[in-house]
Amino acid sequence: MREVIEAFGVNAVLGTFAFVLRAVRLSGYVGGVLLGSMVYLGAGRQGFGVLLGFFILGTALTRFGYATKEARGVAEEQGGRRGISHTLANGTTGLLLALLMGIARMAGWGGEETQILLKLAFTAAFATAAADTSSSEIGSLWGRHPISLRTFRAVPVGTEGAVSIEGTSAGIAASAVLAVLAWVSGWYGPVGILIVTIAATLGNLGESIAASWGMKSRGHHQLLNFLNTVTGAVLSVLLALLIGRPY
């Protein structure tokens, strides 16, 4: 019971700060507190730290240069305040992995190696979401020569699925930050940083390819974000199994 109170209390306090600072809408506040509390219980303080790192990084980058992005017509709506749809799209994969992590731990399934694979997948899910947010926000602000991954031709800044050196580099950096954060917490060895960063980058590029075919413009924006995190999580496990035990 103490763990439940701690998880909900921490998330309620942080969520209230986020709402007061206009980082989230009411739906995002409620959804974030519930999702964050369950992640806290399933993945522990370390896992919650990864989730919190993603939220802080994403919020900061969304607000960075917002006036310029708004003038270009590429800024997030409602001042960048996130709602429940963003919470579910970016957090569902991580939530399911956190719950699986907790269940496996309590039931004694799989042992240490299974736990590390789940931790890699969890971190990669949020690292992929962070890469997507960072590449979009920085690319729309500083991207000088965006191209479409479908035609490999130059396209205007803000075009769905377009990539730029600046945006892609920001995405890689963001995923590496979360990968290092999980490593510092003791979740996996240094090889895990490489695994998570590569998986997140590939997942992010995969979403860009899908978006370049008009998937986002057809109303599948949040679905693509969800599949993006699933792809990153799956790729991290496959890479870990290919490379060997990452610790």
Q: Are 166 and 139 in contact (CB under 8 A)?
A: yes
Q: Are 90 and 229 in contact (CB under 8 A)?
A: yes
**Residue 121: what pLDDT?**
98
| CB within 8 Å of 128: residues ≥ 6 apart | 175, 199, 200, 203, 204, 228, 229, 231, 232, 233
**Higher per-residue pLDDT: 11 or 221:** 11
Q: Report whether pLDDT(247) > 90.
A: no
Q: Report whether pLDDT(6) > 90.
A: yes
**Residue 64: what pLDDT?**
83
pLDDT band at 111 (very low <50, low <70, confident <90, very high): confident
Number of domains in the chain: 1
**Residue 226: what pLDDT?**
93
132-145 per-position pLDDT tens digit: 999 988 988 887 88
> What is the total residue count of the chain?
247
Packing angle, helices 111-142 and 84-107, rounded to 10: 160
Q: What is the mean pLDDT of residues 192-199?
A: 96
Q: Report whether pLDDT(217) > 70.
A: no
**Higher per-residue pLDDT: 245 or 238:** 238
**Residue 219: what pLDDT?**
53
Q: Are 79 and 49 in contact (CB under 8 A)?
A: no
If you ran DSSP here, which 8-state letter would residue 143 be given?
A: -
pLDDT band at 174 (very low <50, low <70, confident <90, very high): very high
Percent of the chain with pLDDT over 70: 94
**Residue 216: what pLDDT?**
58
Reading the block at residue 197, the tokens are: 């960063």
**Residue 231: what pLDDT?**
96
Percent of the chain with pLDDT over 90: 59
37-95 per-position pLDDT tens digit: 999 999 999 999 999 999 999 999 988 877 787 777 766 776 668 889 889 999 999 99
Chain centre to alpha carbon of residue 240: 19
Closest CA to 169 of 135, 129, 214: 135
142-168 per-position pLDDT tens digit: 878 888 778 788 887 767 777 889 999
pTM of the model: 0.92
Q: Which domain holds residue 171?
A: 2-243
Closest CA to 230 of 199, 195, 189, 198: 199
Closest CA to 50 of 188, 237, 240, 213: 188
pLDDT band at 187 (very low <50, low <70, confident <90, very high): very high
- The per-residue pLDDT of the chain, averaged, comes to 89
